[in-house]
């Protein structure tokens, strides 16, 4: 039988008084614990505390000290010349869209459940018919070897080791075949810009299929190139030009320039037959005449999974699914096209509601603004099946090559596991919109 001692019960142990009945201090009488008495410390007490670690300056040590994607961004900025760093970090015009996209993830409240068994947290999921160890993949990024010499090779290998998809951009600086060879066990996807010259597009589609890519991602939000003012102000060229400004910039970042100058020159490896300026290439690639008829042609041509990237309205989400898309990517191109564009995270609940009402099994994928694993969990709770990261992995790449990309993925995975556990959720399928509340009106 349990015996409860109520407050004031005479059987309860008493706290030693500060003074004795005769007024003598309790300390003097020896009633204060020895641990609370002041004394001169002995060397034997101090010695275990005086452990000075040897400074570590290796790349591995720097990456271990990075605890967040923002930490990797700081490392990347110190190690990368301004022009390629700003190409990655910047967005269009006043960069309002990018700031709003990141703020959208901050303006939420998680609603955790308690007393759940979360001793094991499983982040595994299925996307487009195949398993993925994490609910995140690497988005297509152009000119990637300009950011760091390992470029697409680092991204594809790190993704393969993490058990997630990697997407090669048409504007990539490694070929479809070379990426497949570099990560033969990875799940490789290819991103396509539909050209006016359909023969050139068809050639890339065939190469992607022959190299084992199971998913084609077509980007549709580039009727014209966005005004990326950081690039204009930096005078950014591909490859970077050795002007007086870049030479001065290089003096602070010798490792980047050494790697850049001692590796194969940058080329658009998927476009080996193209000879012309970057401006002419972009003008020929961003076709302003694209319509849903072109999507129908692509659906008939490509036999694998087809996803459409750049969806920014509910109606367009529904239409591309009606035209045969296996998945849609809610994306505003990382804020790099239309400034003040819709925020994918805000659009997500409405899109998933409509597709659910239509009984659609199309995958809903989200990118733009993701800088933590908590961001990813919030997106999944509001209905996303999967997420993509662009800048987040590029910061890791610039900070430390393939090891930096792997560190970025480790950071995100750790974030996701911790967030899930604190929400009281052990599996992704247990996440619901009830776990997230938007704090600001959309």
346 is known as an active-site residue: no
Question: Alpha carbon 146 to chain centroid distance?
Answer: 19
Which of these is catalytic: 323, 333, 346, 435?
Answer: 333
Would you please indicate which residues are annotated as catalytic (active-site) residues? 333
């Amino acid at each position: 039988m349990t015996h409860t001692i109520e407050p004031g019960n005479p059987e309860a142990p008493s706290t030693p008084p500060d003074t004795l009945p005769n007024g003598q201090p309790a300390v003097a009488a020896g009633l204060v614990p020895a641990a609370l008495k002041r004394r001169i410390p002995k060397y034997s007490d101090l010695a275990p505390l005086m452990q000075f670690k040897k400074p570590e300056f290796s790349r591995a040590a720097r990456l271990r000290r990075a605890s967040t994607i923002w930490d990797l961004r700081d490392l990347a900025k110190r190690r990368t010349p301004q022009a390629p760093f700003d190409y990655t970090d910047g967005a269009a015009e006043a960069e309002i869209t990018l700031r709003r996209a990141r703020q959208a993830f901050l303006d939420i409240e998680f609603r955790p459940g308690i007393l759940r068994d979360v001793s094991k947290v499983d982040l595994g999921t299925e996307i487009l018919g195949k398993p993925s160890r994490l609910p995140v993949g690497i988005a297509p990024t152009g000119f990637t070897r300009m950011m760091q010499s390992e470029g697409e090779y680092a991204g594809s290998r790190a993704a393969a080791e993490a058990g997630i998809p990697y997407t090669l951009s048409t504007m990539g600086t490694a070929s479809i075949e070379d990426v497949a060879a570099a990560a033969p066990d990875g799940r490789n996807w290819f991103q396509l810009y539909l050209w006016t010259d359909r023969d050139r597009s068809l050639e890339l589609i065939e190469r992607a299929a022959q190299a084992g890519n199971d998913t084609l991602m077509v980007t549709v939000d580039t009727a014209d190139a966005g005004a990326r003012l950081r690039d204009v102000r930096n005078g950014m060229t591909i490859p970077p030009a050795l002007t007086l400004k870049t030479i001065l910039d290089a003096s602070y970042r010798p490792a980047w320039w050494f790697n850049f100058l001692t590796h194969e020159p940058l080329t658009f490896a998927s476009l080996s037959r193209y000879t012309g300026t970057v401006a002419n290439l972009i003008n020929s690639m961003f076709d302003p005449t694209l319509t849903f008829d072109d999507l129908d042609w692509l659906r008939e041509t490509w036999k694998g999974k087809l996803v459409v990237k750049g969806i920014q309205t509910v109606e367009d989400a529904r239409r591309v699914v009606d035209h045969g898309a296996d998945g849609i990517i809610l994306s505003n191109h990382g804020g790099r096209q239309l400034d003040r564009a819709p925020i994918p995270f805000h659009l997500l609940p409405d899109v998933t509601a409509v597709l659910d009402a239509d009984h659609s099994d199309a995958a809903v994928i989200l990118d733009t603004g993701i800088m933590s694993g908590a961001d990813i969990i919030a997106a999944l709770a509001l209905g996303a099946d999967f997420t993509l990261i662009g800048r987040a992995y590029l910061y890791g790449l610039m900070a430390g090559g393939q090891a930096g990309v792997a560190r970025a993925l480790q950071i995100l995975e750790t974030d996701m596991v911790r967030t899930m556990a604190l929400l009281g959720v052990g599996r992704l399928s247990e996440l619901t919109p009830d776990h997230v509340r938007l704090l600001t009106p959309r």
